């Protein structure tokens, strides 16, 4: 009994040491948004789930990945102030440099590695992923907008300009006991993989937009709606938006938004028929090639969207800018389906169904944003075959956001903020959600 107790104490001591080490010399001092993944907790929960669902896991083909990395107790992914908010950084300890080189080439698609003397560097062909590593540390930067991240990666590799584990951001992350956690300024959030469900929630700021009140309304959606979403916010008075250029067309959000009252919604219903035109070429009796237009009926997703506001002014503006021609969205802007626009009494209706009529009824809600996707119904439509392989294990997605007042960390004043919740439901209700992502 004493030997078992000693083993347990040694094991928990080892876990505590791993956790302590994971927070030291890991995150850049200029980090803003920091996302923490509690790897040890995930391993433990997956191990328990494996023992409870042996038949499920044994039926899956497991493929081991030798990365050459020593996965730490806590993994951190973050942005930094000096770079775009769409650029992310991460570091991990190196266990085997040779295995790591093979992993980088085969799994990360970086085929050319450059020896920089004290370290090795490489970049993906699309220029978004940059990696550096030496015998002890591996650091990566992923930039969706492609920017130079070498300075930050060099700091991480050389253990310069790093965040102290006594910093308030780190202290707050340490206090959160969830699989996932994030801090951004005074905002925090958590995420947990449960049986059949991934649940994420947290606080956030709507930069440039204002949420008025705690009670809202939305139109009553079609009873067969597969996807339904609404948003009820307004731009801040001092916020301006730059132009958006799509091909040869320019959209000025400031001009567009003055005709809107802050509410819009979208629903996807059963597919509808649209008449498409197929262009073929045939030779006439004089052996001259002539164009032949053949109409055909095609099924497209049934999509209805309502934008509330000054409909006459909105339609006139969109017509003047040639975004809408003859009450139809310009096909050069959206060539996939025909979208028709018309006055729907409560707002401007955009629909793939020329004869669409939506409900004029509304109902109250505490959420200024809401999204509900039924993946089973979506798959049954067969409208998105390329997308279906990614949602094979999913059942439903629900995202909702509401406004509220939460005390600041300093407890000296009140800070208006918004709260969101995301629930992603999986096919199997008895198997951990992370296990079903494999």
Q: What is the pLDDT of residue 12?
A: 60
Mean pLDDT along residues 251-256: 85
For residues 67 and 16, the answer to whether their CB atoms sit within 8 Å is no
Helix (H) or strand (E) holding 349: strand 348-351
Q: Is the pLDDT of residue 30 over 50?
A: yes
Give the lowest-confidence range in 81-95, 170-184, 275-289, 338-352.
Answer: 275-289
Q: DSSP class of residue 258?
A: T
Give the CA dihedral 231, 237, 238, 242, nearest 10 degrees.
50
Which residue segments constitute the domains of the chain, with CATH numbers given?
Answer: 19-185 (3.40.1000), 189-215+366-438 (no CATH), 237-355 (no CATH)
If you write DSSP's letter for every residue of 46-94 in order, what string do you get?
HHHHHHH-HHHHHTS-------SB---SEEEEEEETTS-TTEEEEEEEB
Query: Taking a C-beta distance cutoff of 8 angstroms, is the pair 351, 345 a contact?
Result: no
Helix (H) or strand (E) holding 227: strand 227-232
**pLDDT value for 17:** 62
Residue 122 has pLDDT above 90, yes or no: yes
Q: Is residue 297 predicted with pLDDT exceeding 80?
A: yes
Query: Under 8 Å CB-to-CB from 222, ≥6 apart: which residues?
Result: 267, 269, 304, 358, 359
* pLDDT given at position 182: 97
Top-confidence residue, 125 or 276: 125
Distance CA 145, CA 89 (A): 14
Query: CA-based angle 197:203:206, to the nearest 5?
Result: 120
For residue 6, pLDDT over 70 is answered with no
Quick count: other Cβ atoms within 10 Å of Cβ 1?
A: 5
Confidence check: pLDDT of 60 > 70: yes
- What is the gyration radius of the CA atoms in the chain, in angstroms? 27
- pLDDT over 90 (residue 217): yes
Tell me what pLDDT residue 244 has: 83
pLDDT of 409 higher than 60: no
| pLDDT greater than 70 at residue 317 | yes
Q: Where are the alpha helices (DSSP H) in 75-142?
A: 97-106
pLDDT at 3: 62
> Cα separation of 182 and 184, whole Å?
7
- How far apart (Å, rounded) are the C-alpha atoms in residues 335 and 329? 9
pLDDT in tens, 155-177: 999 999 999 989 999 999 999 99
Find the mean pLDDT for residues 57-64: 78
Reported as a pLDDT band with limits 50, 70 and 90, residue 87 is very high
Read off the tokens for 161: 């300009």
Q: How confident is the model at residue 238 (pLDDT cuts 50, 70, 90)?
A: confident
pLDDT confidence of residue 414: 47
pLDDT higher than threshold 90 for residue 344: no
pLDDT of residue 277: 77
406 pLDDT higher than 70: no
Flag whether pLDDT at 287 surpasses 80. no
pLDDT above 70 for 229: yes
pLDDT of res. 373: 96
Q: In 3D, which of 109, 102, 108, 134 has the Cα closest to residue 121?
A: 134
């Amino acid at each position: 009994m004493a030997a078992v107790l000693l083993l347990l104490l040694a094991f928990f001591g080892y876990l505590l040491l791993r956790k302590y080490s994971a927070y030291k010399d890991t995150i850049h001092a200029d980090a803003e948004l920091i996302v923490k993944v509690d790897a040890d907790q995930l391993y433990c929960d997956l191990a328990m789930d494996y023992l409870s669902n042996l038949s499920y896991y044994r039926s899956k083909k497991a493929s081991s990945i030798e990365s050459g990395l020593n996965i730490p107790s806590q993994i951190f992914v973050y942005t930094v102030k000096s770079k775009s908010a769409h650029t992310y950084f991460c570091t991990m300890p190196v266990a085997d440099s040779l295995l790591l080189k093979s992993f980088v080439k085969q799994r990360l698609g970086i085929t050319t590695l450059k020896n920089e003397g004290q370290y090795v560097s490489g970049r993906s062909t699309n220029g978004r992923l940059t990696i550096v590593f030496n015998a002890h540390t591996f650091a990566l930067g992923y930039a969706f907008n492609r920017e130079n991240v070498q300075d930050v990666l060099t700091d991480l590799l050389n253990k310069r300009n790093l965040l102290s584990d006594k910093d308030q951001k780190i202290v707050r992350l340490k206090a959160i006991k969830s699989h996932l956690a994030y801090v951004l300024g005074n905002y925090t959030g958590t995420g947990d993989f449960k049986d059949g469900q991934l649940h994420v929630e947290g606080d956030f700021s709507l930069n440039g937009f204002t949420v008025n009140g705690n009670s809202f309304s939305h139109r009553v959606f079609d009873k067969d709606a597969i996807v339904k979403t609404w948003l009820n916010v307004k731009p801040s008075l001092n916020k301006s938006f730059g132009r958006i250029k799509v091909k040869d067309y320019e959209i000025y959000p400031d001009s567009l938004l003055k005709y809107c009252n802050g509410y819009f919604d979208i629903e996807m219903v059963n597919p509808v028929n649209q008449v498409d035109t197929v262009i073929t070429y045939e030779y006439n009796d004089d052996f001259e090639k002539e164009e032949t237009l053949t109409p055909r009926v095609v099924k497209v997703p049934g999509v209805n969207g309502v934008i509330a506001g000054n409909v006459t002014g909105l339609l006139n503006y969109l017509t003047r800018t040639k975004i809408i021609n003859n009450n139809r969205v310009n096909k050069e802007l959206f060539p996939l389906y025909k979208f028709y626009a018309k006055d729907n009494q409560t707002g401007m209706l955009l629909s793939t169904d020329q004869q669409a009529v939506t409900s004029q009824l509304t109902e109250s809600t505490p959420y200024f944003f809401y999204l509900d996707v039924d993946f089973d119904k979506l798959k049954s439509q067969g409208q998105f075959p390329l997308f279906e392989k990614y949602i094979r294990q999913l059942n439903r997605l629900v995202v909702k956001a509401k406004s509220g007042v939460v005390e600041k960390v300093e407890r000296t004043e009140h800070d208006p903020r918004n709260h969101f919740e995301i629930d992603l439901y999986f096919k199997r209700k008895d198997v951990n959600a992370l296990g079903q992502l494999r």
